[in-house]
Amino acid sequence: MLNYCKIPFDFLKFDGVDRLDLINRLSTNKVDNLGKLKGIKTVLTSDKGRFIDLLTLYNFGDFVFASCSFKNSGAVITHLDKYTIMDDFKVTDMAGTHETILFYGDNAGKFAKDLFDIDVSGFTDNDFGIYAEDERHSIISKNDDSFGGFLFIYASKDSEFYNKKLFDKGLKEKFGLREISDEEYNFERIKFGIPKFGTEMTDETNPLECGLNKYVSFTKGCYIGQEVIARLDTYDKISKHLVRLEISNELPSGFKPERAKISVDDKECGFVTSYAHSQENGNIGLGFVKTAFLDYEKAYKIKFNQNEINCRIVK
C-alpha cells in the first residue's frame, strides 16, 4: 500500500549572496555550507529560544526555496526582516503558489523512480531532485520525519496536469495508491509523535522540549535563542517534554485538547495539545509533561471541565 495526502505549507524564496549565512545566524541548524540540491530543516527561534517556525530549506544553488508552516509566512518574514541589517538578502513571500503531496508507505521509492527517474533512497536529510516536463518543474524531496517517503512539491497552476499524471488508474492499481483523509493523517502524526506548528510548536515551547534535537546544532556559532537552548542542554534543564498519550476512557462531549490538563498523583503536571480518535485504535494524544513528573510506569489523568480521563504515557 502506498499512501498519499496533501499537506498545506507556505513557501518563501531567499535571494542574495548572504542568504545561507543569514539563515545560519538566525536558526538552530548549521546551514551555511548547504550544497546544491541539498535540503535541511532548521528552526527559527526567538531570543527566548521559543518557536518562530520550522523551515525546510531547498538549495537550488543561485537561490534557496523554503517551506514554512501554513499561514505563517508573514510572521517568518517579519522575524527575518527584524534581523536583516546590512546583509545582501531578499525574501519573497510565495504563499499560495505551490502545493505539496506526501507519499509514504510501501513502494514510495519505486514510485518516485518509475515516475520521475529520481532515486530518493540515496538522499539524506531533505535532499531533493528536480523533475522537469515541458516547462513544468517540481521538487521530489526525501521526507525525514517518521512518515518517511517523499514530498512532491509543484506549482499550483500545474495541479490539473499532475493530478492526471500521478493518479492515473493504472498507477493506482500498480502501486496500491490510497488517499488518506486529514483525520487519518492527524492520527498518524500523533501516533508518530510528530509536533505540529500552532499546537506543539508554539511561542511557549522550544525545539528541545518538542524532541527536535536533530535540527539543532550544538557546535556551530551563535544564533538567535542559542544561549537559552545551549543552557537547557548543557545543564539538563529542559522543564517539560512532548509525550504520546494513550487515552483509555471515552472522551466527554465537547472535548478540546487546549483546555485539558494532565495530572498524576493528584498533582497537575502538564497539558494536552493534540487529540485523535480511530475506531480501530481508540484515542491517542500528544501533550507536554513536566520533567520532574515523567514516569512511564505511572497512571495519569486528563482533567477536562469536571471529568477525569485515564491515560498513560507511551514511548
Mean pLDDT value across residues 16-24: 98
- pLDDT tens-digit series, residues 135-168: 999 999 999 999 999 999 999 999 999 999 999 8
Average pLDDT, the chain: 96
- pLDDT tens-digit series, residues 63-89: 999 999 999 999 999 999 999 999 999
CA distances from 199 to 8, 69, 102, 286 (A): 15, 12, 21, 9
Cross-strand partners of 275: 285
Residue 124 has a pLDDT of: 97
Residue 150 has a pLDDT of: 98
Answer yes or no: is pLDDT of 249 > 90.
Answer: no
Mean pLDDT value across residues 22-30: 98
Domains of the chain: 1-166+206-235 (3.30.1360.120)
Own/partner pairs, 28-31, CB within 8 angstroms, 24+ separation: 28/207, 28/215, 28/216, 28/217, 28/223, 28/225, 28/226, 28/229, 29/215, 29/216, 29/217, 29/220, 30/217, 30/219, 30/220, 31/57
| pLDDT band with cut points at 50, 70 and 90 for residue 36 | very high
- pLDDT tens-digit series, residues 264-315: 999 999 999 999 999 888 999 999 999 999 999 999 999 999 999 999 999 8
| pLDDT band with cut points at 50, 70 and 90 for residue 43 | very high
Query: What counts of helices (H) and strands (E) characterise the chain?
Result: 7, 17
Residue 251 has a pLDDT of: 86
- pLDDT tens-digit series, residues 90-121: 999 999 999 999 999 999 999 999 999 999 99
Mean pLDDT value across residues 257-270: 95
Question: How many Å apart are CA 72 and CA 201, to the nearest integer?
Answer: 12
